[in-house]
Chain A
Amino acid sequence: ILNVEQSPQSLHVQEGDSTNFTCSFPSSNFYALHWYRWETAKSPEALFVMTLNGDEKKKGRISATLNTKEGYSYLYIKGSQPEDSATYLCAPIYGSARQLTFGSGTQLTVLP
């Protein structure tokens, strides 16, 4: 089973603050990385899928970068809002593994 680490495990920020968190994963045989957002009492929803080293994806105030050589991805949220409160999950894919391996997530709470 692959070791996918997300840090921090949880954080609290004030509304309006910008924040970022990390997904670290083994770089060998890497194929692609998914990011999901999971709000309380809802279903996880896909945010991004990234594959190339140096990839950057953006969706509104949320963006993500990817470094496949060193095995990490950053997720950034600019000007956090209470509705951004959720657990953010990353899931790398390796080779033709056919399955996603999820990290344990970063739980973000944005305080009004």
Chain B
Amino acid sequence: DVKVTQSSRYLVKRTGEKVFLECVQDMDHENMFWYRQDPGLGLRLIYFSYDVKMKEKGDIPEGYSVSREKKERFSLILESASTNQTSMYLCASSFGLAGVNELGTDTQYFGPGTRLTVL
């Protein structure tokens, strides 16, 4: 079974702090994703990575950066946390990429989420 783990289930930080959210997958997937989920808005893509050291902006990258130094690990960084970044953050991984690789290989496997509160 694919396992995607996230470093924390709950996190409380103060405005202006630098925040690191870590995600690790154990299935040798090429692609990893960071989403945030807010009530009524569904999952919104922040960034994704299709290879080590490669990244691409999603729909809402402002205020975030990412790092992928190793294939299994994808980090989301909030350089200076703000209250509007209070949210549930989910990491996902997939073998293939939607619209690029064989259909079905783009199925995403999600971590349990990190609920971040910025005070």
Q: Which residues of chain A have a CB within 8 Å of any CB of chain B?
A: 1, 4, 6, 9, 31-32, 34, 41-46, 49, 51, 89, 91, 93-105
Interface 9-mer from B14-22, B65-73, B79-87, B101-109: B101-109
| A99-B107 in contact given A43-B112, A43-B113, A89-B42 (Cβ < 8 Å) | no
**In the assembly, what is the distance between CA of A41 and CA of B108, in Å?**
18
| B116 close to chain A: CB less than 8 A | no
| A52 shortest CB reach to chain B, Å | 10
The count of A-to-B residue pairs whose CB atoms sit within 8 angstroms is 73
Are A31 and B98 interface neighbours, CB within 8 A?
yes
The count of chain B contact residues (Cβ–Cβ below 8 Å) is 30
Are A99 and B48 interface neighbours, CB within 8 A?
yes
Which chain B residues lie closer than 8 Å to A32 at the CB level?
98-99, 103
Which chain A residues lie closer than 8 Å to B100 at the CB level?
96, 98
Q: Which residues of chain B have a CB within 8 Å of any CB of chain A?
A: 4, 33, 35, 40-45, 48, 50, 56, 58-59, 90, 92, 97-100, 103-104, 106-113
| B100 shortest CB reach to chain A, Å | 6
18 further contact pairs, Cβ within 8 A, besides A6-B42, A9-B40, A95-B99: A34-B107, A34-B108, A41-B112, A42-B112, A43-B4, A43-B90, A43-B109, A43-B110, A45-B110, A93-B98, A93-B99, A96-B100, A98-B56, A98-B99, A100-B106, A101-B59, A102-B35, A102-B44
